[in-house]
Amino acid sequence: MNEALRQANRRLTVRLLLLVAAATGFAFALVPFYDLLCRVTGLNGKTGGAVQAAQALEADTARWVTVEFTSTVMPGMSWEFRPAQTRMRVHPGEVTRISYLARNPTNQATAGQAVPSVSPGWTARHFNKVECFCFQRQVLQPGEVKEMPLVFLVSPELPSEVQEISLSYTLFPVSG
């Protein structure tokens, strides 16, 4: 191999290595991008963080929306976890409070984290939470029963064809 070819090979190799580095960077960049995409589009029914109650607008008393509550407990979690009521009718813009009940039947203090999901997914951006037990992890002592509050309001901007929204909480075990 002559020197010119050797150098050309080295140059191309370095460029390809940069491409490998870029592909690796791209893979890691997908993580925040994926999260952003879900948040902006409401894919996966991902809801945002807390909103201020002051943001609450006047309730649209002419309209009713039914909100259904469900719960799922992941494998590895032994809590009992359920909504205090499974459905309720609310006016858009009206601040409403309900609660979920959790009981730790084991003899060990354990921590859990509830992850919310709204269905249909695209209505997630109209479902605003003022206060939620899902904003932080919950710790239950052995045998402890806890009533965990959720304060929410459905935005009056919710398109009028939507008459029902389901809110699902999945409870995951938190280790460490």
- Residues in the site for other proteins, rule: CB under 8 A? 1, 5, 8-9, 12-13, 16-17, 19-21, 23-24, 26-28, 30-31, 34-35, 38, 43-44, 74-76, 112-113, 115, 121-122, 137, 170, 172-174, 176
For strand 164-174 and strand 65-73, is the pairing parallel, antiparallel, or unpaired?
parallel
Cβ closer to other proteins: 93 or 169?
Answer: 169
Cβ closer to other proteins: 54 or 159?
Answer: 159
Cβ closer to other proteins: 156 or 173?
Answer: 173
Q: Closest approach of Cβ 68 to other proteins, in Å? A: 18
143: left (phi over 0), alpha (psi -120 to 50) or beta: left
Residue written as token pair 């997630």: 124
CB under 8 A, 24+ apart: contacts of 50-54: 50/129, 50/130, 50/131, 50/132, 50/135, 51/128, 51/129, 51/130, 51/153, 52/130, 53/95, 53/130, 53/151
Q: Closest approach of Cβ 124 to other proteins, in Å? A: 11
Cβ closer to other proteins: 34 or 64?
Answer: 34
Residue type, 74: M
Give the closest residue to 155 by CA, choosing from 93, 112, 81.
Answer: 93
Q: Closest approach of Cβ 90 to other proteins, in Å? A: 25
Cβ closer to other proteins: 87 or 137?
Answer: 137
**φ and ψ of 173, to 5 deg:** -70, 140
